Amino acid sequence: MGDHELLIRHFAKWASSKHQSFDADLLEAALDLRSHHDERGHTFWPAGSVEELMLERWPTHGPLDVPDPDTLAQTLSTYVHFLRATGRMASGSGNPKNLAREARRAAPKMAAACADVGRHSPTKVLQTFGREIGITLDGAADADELQSRLDRIQDAWNALPMAERRARMPLTAAAPSLPSQRLTDAWAHEDAFDDTPIPPSDPDLRAAQATGSPFVQDCLRLLEWVGDGGRHVTRTGVLRLAEAEAAYVDLGAADWERGWWRIERSVLHDDALSEEAERIGSEGFWWRSAGECLPLERVWFPCQAAGLLETRATVARTDSRQPQGATEWVRAGCSLLLGLVQRFAQEVPLIVLMSVLGRGILDGSVSIVEEAKDWANDEANHDARMVELMPDDADYWHARGRAAFARCLYLFDDTGIWVRDDDTLRLTDFGRDFARVFFGAVDSGELSV
């Protein structure tokens, strides 16, 4: 039974008894769209929601075949009256008569809205393109066949000239899906987190801080290196070894890795680690899998997570949809950083990043010395807990804890979210934007710290 099937059965029985016309399939599609993309319950219809459904949500994410607008309008009108008459209408909903008027006003405009490709989501654009070349997603026997069809559509799409792809997918959809936009859009709404006093700032300044950071520049160099022609990847979505070795050299990844190892050397005073740090870059690529190479994963995974890098069955290509304007570049920067956080969640103590971002928002600047002291006594510092179990090796375990703290700062030092001034960190405007995204991800459960 579908999510709304029982409700629709009751509605159909009621509407028939009142001699009201309706289309049950259209109602089910409407409820599914609102539930998935707007996260609204099937009984909650605030003022404006019917018009929004018909002129924004349906053109953006609805079925490829445009419904008869008058039939949909009549169905929705009957449905909201059903909700009120049976006591199902949720608190905060609009008056059924007014909602019915919305449907009648929207009906003459719906066909044009659905025909406007600028309103279509990327998924809908690809489905439409697939239908044009004779590949539909309907009737697939199983998940493997469905994926095979999707791959064929994507390969044909990638073969189109760049200009045609941009014309077909202008990315101006009027109604972005809530689940897909919640995190990276959070920074754009100054009231998104009322308990976090983050003042607004100039979008151009934030974009400059994001795109000017060495980390984002490294991501852009990777995207240029991959290019439209693509690079070969494994079934797990990482570069094949030959390609990974080439990327390691071409992108100068050894420079970042030397800094990573020098932290161990300077904190632990380990001669073997010191030699290892100096060796890196001279012996070349030595990993058995690109997924194990942190210098490459540092940019590869974030580009995938941000949607800037497309990985298919055997090939990775740069996504043709590049950010446009300051707002989109800030959003892209936040997405890249969130991907970096997700990839290195097991490599560095993210509780340190959380503390720096929180204090930076509240106090403006953060003392590295104070942060280090707090980390030394934090329950999340597993190395400090080892001191209790192995007191004879206390110096070693304390040093490991300091190294973990230093690695966390090193990982984000080049991202543009803060500026170091002696032993002080000061969040940039872009850093405040990312803080909003970060805490939103933690609050929603998307990120575990």
- What are the tens digits of pLDDT across the range 267-314? 665 555 445 545 554 456 778 888 888 999 999 999 988 888 888 778
For residue 276, the model assigns a pLDDT of: 52
- Of the candidates 82, 70, 56, 65, the one whose C-alpha atom is nearest the C-alpha of residue 23 is 70
Consecutive sets of 10 residues in the chain, 449 residues long: mean pLDDT of each? 74 91 92 82 90 91 91 95 90 91 95 87 83 86 80 80 70 48 44 44 82 93 90 86 91 88 69 51 68 90 88 81 83 92 90 91 86 86 77 79 91 94 90 89 73
- Residue 92 contacts residue 44 (beta carbons within 8 Å): yes
Distance (Å) of CA 74 to CA 42, 77, 175, 328: 17, 5, 23, 39
> Which residues, including other chains, have CB under 8 Å from residue 218's CB and lie 6 or more apart?
251, 256, 298, 299
For residue 268, the model assigns a pLDDT of: 60
For residue 270, the model assigns a pLDDT of: 55
For residue 102, the model assigns a pLDDT of: 94
